[in-house]
Structure 1
């Protein structure tokens, strides 16, 4: 069974994402200035800690597209093998949809990334793909685990999932792979997509199939 998230959550996230996109894409000076200030703070910190930067380069790729697709596909197959068809469809749909959406946004919006970051990336920046992947994976885990856990278990899962999504987002900023607003956009994209997919799957599948 898949937990039913509050309906206002994806609606609120979509509104916030659209509101954020306007100043981001028009290069609104106050927002761009804040982005640059925070990025330069991380640049100064990272310049003196090459070991930490090297570690973050490795850790951030846990949410890269290939690991995300592999993990999502494996999870979907495992759920299907256990007879949880709705959960498998939910997992597979999120896994297939999220990279397509942020990839489409990169192609349409053409927001450049910070210059001279600690990683070499040639694609556009808004929203952050790694962050979208991480947040989507975290939300999937929470929604699948929620109905099967007691209160303490739910707290543990939500805390761990939130920490993972936040950590990956912070690594993208710390490595100057993205502006902070790119990361915020990635979190918001996941908050739009995952609950909507959950609603769609719940409507089409009987409760016993999840």
Structure 2
């Protein structure tokens, strides 16, 4: 035992703000899912933003989009997650490492489940598109990285919440741009993937803290009771 307090991955000062964001994001996911359930064409908003199937990204930006897309594929995401988890363990943050695995895993699993429930397709009937799993993945990773950074920087309240939201926004926008530009998703798919991560990660972080705190709580309780 080092005697040092274990740092929560979801600080209490951020719970209210991120909880509100998660609730609103979940509502957006549901509304968009109901709106586009069973559809196989871009909606009005999608057409207004960009022709989603035009494969509009050209070199040299196409290389950037392809690289981002690779990070969301099984091989790329495995390498990225392994590197982040290794960094957490080197910094002696096992709870943070658990959040990376659980948070990203739950986000991607939720996005995959929603794809089958909503049934929206692109490029014909075989490619489920809503929500974008790639966008959900990178948003979750950016969200978690910023969440852990708030602890190291000592940020709380509005400052901490703003940092986490901004990081998730940038990560989601970057991957969403790549997926839409490559013609893999509609813009509203990317929005749904972004909101999926915003809804899932705070809940997962809270659960990780709850589960990790149970052994410590039991040990403290046993110590207070003392031997009989």
Give the TM-score of the pair, scaled to structure 1: 0.78
- Please tell me whether the aligned partners of residues 89 and 97 of structure 2 are also in contact (alpha carbons under 8 angstroms): yes
Query: Deviation per CA, 1:122-172, whole angstroms, max 9, x where unpaired?
Result: 641010011000100010001111011156x96778655532321111111
Structure-2 change in CA distance of 1:158 and 1:193 (3 Å): closer
| 1:38 matched residue in structure 2 | 49
- Please tell me whether the aligned partners of residues 140 and 197 of structure 2 are also in contact (alpha carbons under 8 angstroms): yes
- Please tell me whether the aligned partners of residues 106 and 123 of structure 1 are also in contact (alpha carbons under 8 angstroms): no
- Please tell me whether the aligned partners of residues 3 and 146 of structure 1 are also in contact (alpha carbons under 8 angstroms): no
Structure-2 change in CA distance of 1:135 and 1:24 (3 Å): same
Pick the aligned partner of 1:13 from 25, 30, 46.
25
Question: Which sections of structure 2, spanning at least 5 residues, go unmatched?
Answer: 1-6, 217-228
| 1:119 matched residue in structure 2 | none
Give the TM-score of the pair, scaled to structure 2: 0.72
- Please tell me whether the aligned partners of residues 121 and 128 of structure 2 are also in contact (alpha carbons under 8 angstroms): yes
Partners of 2:105 and 2:163 in 1: CA distance: 27
Matches within 5 A, 1:159-174: 159=166, 162-174=169-181
- Please tell me whether the aligned partners of residues 114 and 179 of structure 1 are also in contact (alpha carbons under 8 angstroms): no
| 1:96 matched residue in structure 2 | 105
Pick the aligned partner of 1:132 from 116, 121, 136.
136
Partners of 2:52 and 2:106 in 1: CA distance: 34
| 1:205 matched residue in structure 2 | 212
Pick the aligned partner of 1:149 from 150, 153, 156.
153
Root-mean-square deviation (CA, aligned residues, Å) is 3.2
Partners of 2:119 and 2:201 in 1: CA distance: 24
More helix by share: 1
| 2:192 matched residue in structure 1 | 185
Query: Deviation per CA, 1:31-77, whole angstroms, max 9, x where unpaired?
Result: 7122234332883854xx45433442233322333322332233234
Q: Which moved more, 1:168-177 or 1:189-198?
A: 168-177
Structure-2 change in CA distance of 1:85 and 1:150 (3 Å): closer
Number of equivalenced pairs = 198
SS class of match (1:25): coil
| 2:3 matched residue in structure 1 | none
SS class of match (1:112): coil
